[in-house]
Amino acid sequence: MAISYVVSDTPIGPLFLASTERGIVRVAFECEDFDSVIVELEENLSDEAVEDSEVLAKAVKQFDEYFAGVRQEFELDLDHSLSSGFRRDVQEQLTNIDFGTTQSYQEVAATVGNPKAVRAVGSACATNPIPVVVPCHRVLRSDGSLGGYRGGLKIKTTLLELEQAA
C-alpha cells in the first residue's frame, strides 16, 4: 500500500499528513517527531512512505480552509487501518460530533453502546491516528475540563476556540 505524506504549516504548527490510496491514514503534530511517525507508518502498513504534495493537495487545502474558519467539516476519505476494534468504533463515532460542539467521554461511551467504557474511550481518543479530521479534540471530561490531547492541551484549546469563533 503506497503511503504519501506532506508537512503542512498551520496556525497550530506544522502538521504531518499521510494517506494511502484509501484515504488519510495519519495526522501528526510536531511534538510526535515526524521521522518516528514515518517509521511507524512503514512498519504498520508495510510500505515505503514518500513525500508527495500533489496526492495530499486536497487535504492541505481543506486544512487551510478549516484554520481560516471557512470549513466546518472535512470531506476526505479516511483510512482507519491503524485502528481496530473498540478504538476504531470510537474514532469512527467521533466524526459525528458536530463542529463547535463537544461531548463527554461518558457520552461517547454510551453512544458506542458501552456506557461504562469511559477510560477506553479516553484511550481511543489518545491513540486517534487522524486528529483534527477525526475530532477527538471535541471530547471533554464530564466536568467540562479538557482531559488530555495527543498534540497537547494548548492545541486542544486552540482548536476548540477556533470552532467556537466560527
Rounded-to-10 torsion of CA 82, 9, 63, 88: 10
Task: Identify any residues that bridge with 20 across adjacent strands, giving them in sequence order.
Answer: 23
Residue 136 to residue 138: CA distance in whole angstroms: 5
Q: Which helix (H) or strand (E) holds 154?
A: helix 153-165
Instruction: Supply 73's cell numbers.
Output: 467539516
**Which residues are known to be catalytic?**
136
Residue 3 to residue 88: CA distance in whole angstroms: 20
Instruction: Supply 121's cell numbers.
Output: 474511550
Q: What is the DSSP string of 20-71?
A: ETTEEEEEEEGGG-HHHHHHHHHHHHTS-EEE-TTTTHHHHHHHHHHHHT--
* CB of 26 closer than 8 Å to CB of 73: no
